[in-house]
Amino acid sequence: MLPIYLRLYIDKSGKVVRIDAKTIEYLDESLLAPVKEMFFATAFIPGNIKGVDVPSYIDIELQLSEYIL
């Protein structure tokens, strides 16, 4: 299993606007592209401070099987 750490930046409307990825080993960007595409297409609930929607981020850890790679 290869761990991948993603930080998704979410705007105040709940849309993912940026994704930073970190891996322990080198991972070809073409293998990571479908994962990023999935998160870009996913709607999130934005952060909320005192009743006001605000930009936020979420850290996610994924385990990709060597069979996918």
pLDDT (0 to 100) of residue 3: 82
pLDDT (0 to 100) of residue 38: 94
pLDDT (0 to 100) of residue 23: 73
Per-residue tens of pLDDT for the chain, all 69 residues: 678 899 999 999 999 999 998 876 677 777 788 889 999 999 999 999 999 999 999 999 988 765 555
d(C-alpha 54, C-alpha 50), whole Å: 10
d(C-alpha 24, C-alpha 61), whole Å: 12
Rg of the Cα trace of the chain? Answer: 14
pLDDT (0 to 100) of residue 41: 97
